[in-house]
Amino acid sequence: MMKRLDIKLIVLDVDGVLTDGKLLIGSNGVEFKSFHVKDGMGISLAKYYGIKVVIITGRKSEAVRIRAKELKIDYVYEGITDKLSVLKEIIKTLNLKPENVFFMGDDINDLPVINNVGFSAAPNDAAQIVKNAVDFVSNLNGGNGAVREVIDYILSQQDDYDYIVKNYVKEKIVINQ
pLDDT (tens, 9 = 90+) of the chain, 177 residues, equals 456 789 999 999 999 999 998 888 888 888 889 999 999 999 999 999 999 999 999 999 999 999 999 999 999 999 999 999 999 999 999 999 999 999 999 999 999 999 999 999 999 999 999 999 999 999 999 999 999 999 999 999 999 999 999 999 988 776 554
Backbone angles phi, psi at 149, to 5 degrees: -60, -45
The CATH classification number of 9-172 equals 3.40.50.1000
Q: What is the DSSP letter of 107?
A: S
Asked if 144 contacts 36 with a C-beta cutoff of 8 angstroms, the reply is: yes
Of 81, 70, 72, nearest to 110 by C-alpha is 81
Q: Domain boundaries in the chain? A: 9-172
Residue type, 93: T
The pTM assigned to this predicted structure is 0.93
Please give the pLDDT value at position 130.
98
Please give the pLDDT value at position 1.
43
